[in-house]
Structure 1
Amino acid sequence: MNPSTLNSKEFEEQYSGTLCDYVTAIAWSPKGTTLAATSAAGEVVLLQDGELTTLQTPKGESVNCVAFSKDGQFLAVGGQDGKVKIWRESELIATLENAPAWVDKLAWSPTNNLLAFSLGPYVQVWNADTRESVATLNFDNSSVFGIDWRYDGEYLAIGGYLGAKVWDCQNWDDEPYILDIPSASLAIAWSPDGKYLASGNMDRTITVVESHFLSSDGTAEPWVMRGFPGKIRQIAWSEPTTQQGAPLVACSSVDGIVVWEKQADDSLGWEARVLTNHVNIIQAIAFAPKSFLLASAAADGWICLWKKATEVSQILTGVSSGFSSLAWHPNGQQLAAGGENGELFVWSKTTRGQGFGRK
């Protein structure tokens, strides 16, 4: 589907700018007042009120990940130099040296100021309030490929070779729950309601387990979904639930997306629908907050907006090559994205888009 064939203009460009290199990661602050972006050149920038502020100039080594703490007080980045840097507003307050290990993944707890970040086969948990490390978690089998906290901050899931491990955050020294996977867990994500944990795997499967098995003596019987064209690169959950009381889970593989909807009968598992429109590898997917609107960004230079996670309603363009990342504003009225050649965009929902004013 060519972008020009769609008449919908639900989102219109509000901002465009450029970093020096490939945009590696972007993140909105919890209140949505600030957008942070990082690049393969080592830049860290903030977009506020249409103005770009530089926290870190190009260093020649990639910054790979960026995240705001739950209250927006702290901003953390990690990268190729092994350093984790934490800013409070625009002041650099801590630099954690971890070379030669690269820092590819990091995530803040949704309930306090604990930061988890990857260091090869380990995950370090660091307290921003006390500025001390509180735990070192050994994944053991491989480097860490994914990190995600449950919404209540009680469990931390980590993905890697041969599966995922889930730690009880009140008892870091306890043995983790292990979700066995024959290949590797490349993407790990809790559902927003905390009821499910999904793993996207190297062997072209998705594994979903109900989280109550993590705190019970019962043996979990995960659902395993198959039939993808390649490894699973991303997973995204919707906030709203369907009539069956479960959220949608979307995953991307190569240039396609599969959206799974839970059936009323547990024995029937999850029913799939395939979304096809991209013509190159999909780099990022995300549901808009409180909505079934799904966005996908790909190396073909398109961002597709999928109405009700079913059909394309709009295609956003503007990059000279491909898109590398995307992030929804917390209110769902704006969408930000980064490009392979350093482009940074923000689109806003128009007054024609379901009656919302432009913000």
Structure 2
Amino acid sequence: MKTSLVWTLILFTLFTLLPHAAAVNPTKLGLPEGAVARLGMGRINDIQYSPDGQHLAVASSVGVWIYDAQTGEVINLITSTDRIVGGEPDPQASAINSISFSPDGQLLAIGTQGNNIRIWNVKLGRYRHTYWVSGLQSLSFSPDGNILASGGTSIFKIYPETAE
């Protein structure tokens, strides 16, 4: 009798608490006081809002998360398996150093420690173009969005962003 009562209480407790635990948003678990969300995974190297404020891109050692800036919902996750060159996985794929939205917010330049810059089409969710550079540390689009500049170890390069 005691055994069945104990099992009934255990099962009741599990069925009562598990749905609540499963419904908790993992980006909100264990946050310090005043924090509203936990973004990305791994070491975060860069964070950028899109010019219209609709998206937030978080670059890390794992990949780039693109969030809806209003709701915090993940729109896209660009991981190392997304880094493709000519249909083959990119052997130079590595942690993301720097990101930069184009002024219209349609493109996201992604610079990696593997010495490449990828242009990601935010709307279509795919890569548009790849540039190769050594010592990459930072990226920035020109105000008109037609030029992408990169800086790094004693270098500064400019890329025409009209490449299709």
Give TM-score scaled by structure 1 length: 0.31
Which stretches of structure 1, 4 residues or more, deviate above 3 A after TM superposition? none
Partner Cα distance (1:250, 1:289) in 2: 14
- Displacement after TM superposition at 1:223 (Å): 2.7
* Native 8 Å contact 1:251 1:258 kept in 2: yes
What amino acid is aligned across from residue 346 of structure 1 in structure 2? I
Please name the residue that 1:249 is paired with: 56
**Pair 1:238-2:50 in alignment:** yes
Match 1:329 to one of 142, 147, 151: 142
1:49-105 Cα distance to aligned partner (Å, 9 max, x none):
xxxxxxxxxxxxxxxxxxxxxxxxxxxxxxxxxxxxxxxxxxxxxxxxxxxxxxxxx
* Native 8 Å contact 1:250 1:260 kept in 2: yes
Partner Cα distance (1:334, 1:260) in 2: 25
Taking the TM superposition and a 5 Å limit, the aligned residue runs for 1:204-283 are 222-226=35-39, 228=41, 230-240=42-52, 247-262=54-69, 269-272=71-74, 273-276=76-79, 277=83, 279-283=93-97
Please name the residue that 1:314 is paired with: 129
Partner Cα distance (1:326, 1:344) in 2: 10
**Pair 1:338-2:151 in alignment:** yes
Distance 1:247 1:257, change over 3 A: same
1:142-180 Cα distance to aligned partner (Å, 9 max, x none):
xxxxxxxxxxxxxxxxxxxxxxxxxxxxxxxxxxxxxxx
Please give the root-mean-square deviation of Cα atoms over the aligned residues, in Å: 2.7
- Displacement after TM superposition at 1:279 (Å): 2.1
Partner Cα distance (1:288, 1:348) in 2: 13
Distance 1:260 1:348, change over 3 A: same
Partner Cα distance (2:127, 2:151) in 1: 20
Partner Cα distance (1:303, 1:271) in 2: 26
Q: Calculate percent identity across the aligned residue pairs.
A: 27
* Native 8 Å contact 1:302 1:322 kept in 2: no
Partner Cα distance (1:344, 1:323) in 2: 9
- Displacement after TM superposition at 1:233 (Å): 1.6
Secondary structure at the aligned position of 2:93 is classed as: coil
* Native 8 Å contact 2:60 2:97 kept in 1: no
* Native 8 Å contact 1:235 1:285 kept in 2: yes
Structure number having the greater strand percentage = 1
Give TM-score scaled by structure 2 length: 0.63
Size of the aligned set, in residue pairs, is 121
**Pair 1:296-2:98 in alignment:** no
What amino acid is aligned across from residue 72 of structure 2 in structure 1? W
Q: Which has the larger radius of gyration?
A: 2
Distance 1:255 1:314, change over 3 A: farther
Structure number having the greater helix percentage = 2
Partner Cα distance (2:120, 2:112) in 1: 14
Secondary structure at the aligned position of 2:50 is classed as: strand
Please name the residue that 1:287 is paired with: 101
Partner Cα distance (1:312, 1:305) in 2: 6
- Displacement after TM superposition at 1:325 (Å): 1.3
Distance 1:329 1:262, change over 3 A: closer
Which runs of no fewer than 5 residues in structure 1 stay unpaired? 1-204, 207-219, 241-245, 264-268, 354-359
- Displacement after TM superposition at 1:322 (Å): 3.4
- Displacement after TM superposition at 1:348 (Å): 1.4
- Displacement after TM superposition at 1:283 (Å): 1.5
Partner Cα distance (1:312, 1:298) in 2: 14
- Displacement after TM superposition at 1:232 (Å): 1.6
Secondary structure at the aligned position of 2:97 is classed as: strand
Partner Cα distance (1:307, 1:288) in 2: 10
Distance 1:293 1:227, change over 3 A: closer
Partner Cα distance (1:322, 1:330) in 2: 24
Which runs of no fewer than 5 residues in structure 2 stay unpaired? 1-26, 84-91
Please name the residue that 2:23 is paired with: none
